A and B are shown apart, each in its own frame.
Chain A
Amino acid sequence: MEKNIKFYWKLFLSTFTISAFTIGGGYVIVPLMRKKFVEELKWIDEEEMLNLVAISQSAPGPIAVNTSIMTGYRLAGIFGAFITTVGTVLPPLIIITVIAKFYEVFKENWIISSLLLGMRAGVAAVIIDVIIKMVRDIIKSKNNVSIAIMVVALIAAVIFNINSALIIILSGAFGGFYYYFKKAGENQ
């Protein structure tokens, strides 16, 4: 794709919009990114998106910011990363600056509170939709190792509340060793 002003503007606008709707936690960025960058613009594929999210999660800092930096770097190098970082940081910066000034009004306003209550249900639906798709893909792959990692990671996160960075690092290490020794076994 051509890297002209139009491309950078689209990159900025996409990350700005995605960030403005990442409500209720960093992972909400996944269904939004998937729709925009994977399905609509076709700039990255699904597998790569999951790689980017995984690597972002293993670095410190907000996952939405880290994922944006990686996506920007993947599409247009350091300058791309700069554009996506600014695009991601601006919506919360603007919104919180305004709210910090009018917090009392904001807290008491019934329109805002019912709007947010409704949107929360929408966010839940959006994330359920993407989970169904992703879990189905993994089960369809018939790769028992992947299915096992998924189940163990889910138990670790939901029941034992283990830090997600740790889950990422352990599953990466497991994958690295497992596939290395499997290949070594096949070569013999």
Chain B
Amino acid sequence: MIYIEIFLSFFQIGLFSFGGGYAALPLIKTQVLEVHNWLTVEEFADLLTISQMTPGPIAINASTFVGTKIAGLPGAVIATIGCVTPSCIIVLILSYYYFKYKNLSSIQGILKGLRPAVVSLIASAGLSILMLAIFKTKGATLLNMKLSDINLVGIIIVAISVFILRKFKLDPIKVMIGTGIAGVFIYGIL
């Protein structure tokens, strides 16, 4: 039955994607292009574009997109449930032990080692988002950029937003909505 196949495919994607969205991509590709012929290569490229533009984890976006394509809304729901089931089980087990033993000094040591690494991982993700915002050309970085790659408007919006966030402690969601509206006026209308 198609629903069981969908569930099992996305269960595997959820189970084996360690380390965030881009680790999930090859797994999604294998499942939907190679194991099953659920998407064409063009549709897979569309899926990537949509995932980058819309909120939510890429694995969940892929689940919904593929599920809808092959079996409508029930397909989307089943695929999504399949994708998050391994997380739910594993994370709940980890949560149980974490909250039970977090005050042990050996666990405290591990956590003390983890926290600075997490800050770096957030910084690394932030850096790639920043590159997307301040360069027009895809794949441009600080090392290989040309003057024509620079998106001056992007840099100005980022700078003003950081200033507002730090000075007035505004809600980040409001800042994002604000820059979205600014984008419509600046890129769309001018």
- A-side residues, CB < 8 A to B, are 17, 19-28, 30-32, 35, 47, 50-51, 53-66, 69-70, 73-74, 78, 81, 85, 89, 91-93, 95-97, 99-101, 103, 106-107, 110-111, 113-132, 134-135, 138, 145-147, 149-151, 153-154, 156-158, 163-168, 171-180, 183
Contact = CB atoms under 8 A, between A and B. Distances in A.
20 contacts: A19-B55, A27-B20, A28-B125, A28-B129, A35-B173, A54-B111, A54-B114, A54-B117, A55-B95, A57-B121, A59-B18, A73-B95, A96-B65, A118-B182, A126-B161, A129-B172, A149-B113, A149-B120, A174-B113, A177-B109
A50 B69 contact: no
A147 B116 contact: yes
Interface residues of B, number: 97
Mostly, the B contact residues are helix
B112 A123 contact: no
Contact of A120 (B83, B95, B133): B133
B21 A179 contact: no
Interface in B82-137: 83-84, 86-88, 90-92, 94-96, 98-99, 102, 105-106, 108-130, 132-134
A4 to B, nearest CB: 22
Contacts of A89: 56, 60, 80, 84
Given A74-B95, A168-B117, A96 B183 contact: no
Interface in B55-72: 55-61, 64-65, 68-69
Contact of A103 (B50, B52, B87): B50
A168 B126 contact: no
Contacts of A172: 110-111, 113-114, 117
B92 A126 contact: no
Contacts of B130: 124, 127-128
Q: 7 smallest A-B Cβ distances: which pairs?
A: A175-B113, A118-B183, A92-B56, A179-B109, A62-B57, A61-B87, A122-B179
B6 interface: no
Could you say which of B73, B118, B130 has the most chain A C-beta atoms within 10 Å of its C-beta? B118
A147 B54 CA distance: 34
Contacts of A56: 91
Nearest to B156: A121
A62 B20 contact: yes
A35 B49 CA distance: 29
Contact of B183 (A31, A101, A114): A114
B54 A57 contact: no
A175 B111 contact: yes
